[in-house]
Amino acid sequence: QVQLVESGGGSVQAGGSLRLSCAASGYRINNNWMAWFRQAPGKEREGVAAIYTSYSTTYYSDSVKGRFTISRDSANNSVYLQMNNLNSDDTAMYFCAAARELTWLHPSQTLISDEYKYWGQGTQVTVSA
C-alpha cells in the first residue's frame, strides 16, 4: 500500500520560508516522478513543482519559479519543497503526489494532476501579510 505523508506546513509571515517534506512508503521514489501541488479555497488544484528523482530533473510553475525548490533524498525515500519569499498567494493546502511507477512524463505533463496516481493528505500553508 502506497502512502505519502506530508509535513512541515504552518503559518508564516510574508517574506518568510517553510520547508515541506513528503515521506513515501510502499513506493520507491527512484526512477519516478514526484510533484507538489496546491489548492486554495475556491480554486483549482495547481501543480507547483515536479522532479524526476533519478536525474533530479525539475520543473516549476511560473508562479513559484525562483522562490521554491523541489529536491529528493533517495536514502530517506522522501521529497522536499523549500519555499522562500512566501506571499499571501501561496496560502493553500499543499499535496505531495507520485506518478505511476516507471512512467516517463513529457515536460508538459509534469504539473498536470491527472498524471499522478498517488496522493498524500496534504499540509496547510498559511501566509499572512
**7 CB burial (10 A radius; 0-12, 13-18, 19+):** middle
Rounded to an integer, what distance in angstroms lies between the CA atom of residue 32 and that of residue 14?
33
Rounded to an integer, what distance in angstroms lies between the CA atom of residue 77 and that of residue 27?
8
pLDDT digits (tens, 9 = 90+) for 17-68: 999 999 999 999 999 999 999 999 999 999 999 999 887 799 999 999 999 9
Quick one: CA dihedral 6, 32, 69, 127, positive or negative?
negative
Rounded to an integer, what distance in angstroms lies between the CA atom of residue 84 and that of residue 69?
9
pLDDT digits (tens, 9 = 90+) for 77-127: 999 999 999 999 999 999 999 999 999 999 999 999 999 999 999 999 999
